[in-house]
Amino acid sequence: GEYLTDRLADDTIAFMQREKARPLFLCLWTYNPHYPFEAPEELIEKYRGQEGPGLKNPIYGAQLEATDRAVGRVLAELERLELADNTLVIFTSDNGGWSGATDNRPLRAGKGYLYEGGLRVPLIVRWPGVTEAGSVKAEPVVSMDLTATVLDAAGVSLAEGETLDGESLRPLFTGGKLRRDSLCFHYP
């Protein structure tokens, strides 16, 4: 049958095609990699027998590739629609990998832990005219910064008296520094 991540990419692409003349905000949540473990059979077969350091479950590996494939299709459509040069793209996740299906080497632990293996996630940003392609920043940031960054990119100011927990990452991308001194995390 049809795979959910592929269908979500199809729906996202159809929306972009339909609304390409208007400013838009898209959020593509693929639910991958995540339990329940489901992936296209041809991708599962590709990872069967590949278990070892970094991969404990072939379906998990297949979910990663399915996500990569879906994101690649959306990025290709942004190019085809000539929207890529005017689009902020953020790729991230909500927590580290689940230790039952993967490991987060060289980071300690995984999902549900306050160690880096549970907290550190990918953050890839493409913001034409702001980010430098291929650059890497080591400054710790937090998901709350994404709201401030998206509002900054859209030119939206907060109303009087409104505040955000995060801050725009634009200064970091343009050679500056963020204003905060520390980040705190809590896991009950």
pLDDT at position 174: 94
pLDDT at position 131: 96
Task: Assign 3-state DSSP to the chain and report helix, strand, coil percentages, each to 5.
Answer: 35, 5, 60
Residue 137 to residues 9, 75, 88, 141, 187, Cα–Cα distance (Å): 29, 22, 17, 10, 26
* pTM of structure: 0.92
- Please state, in angstroms and rounded to a whole number, the distance separating the CA atoms of residues 98 and 136: 25
Q: Give pLDDT tens digits along the chain (188 positions).
A: 578 899 999 999 999 999 999 999 999 988 888 888 899 999 999 999 999 988 999 999 999 999 999 999 999 999 999 999 999 999 999 889 999 899 888 999 999 999 999 999 999 999 999 999 999 999 999 999 999 999 999 999 999 999 999 999 999 999 999 999 899 888 77
Helix (H) or strand (E) holding 108: none
CA nearest neighbour of 96 among 81, 79, 116, 78 = 116
pLDDT at position 127: 97
Q: How many CB atoms lie within 10 A of CB 53?
A: 8
- Please state, in angstroms and rounded to a whole number, the distance separating the CA atoms of residues 151 and 167: 10
What is the DSSP code (8-state) at residue 85?
G
- Please state, in angstroms and rounded to a whole number, the distance separating the CA atoms of residues 178 and 171: 7
pLDDT at position 1: 57
pLDDT at position 186: 81
pLDDT at position 34: 87
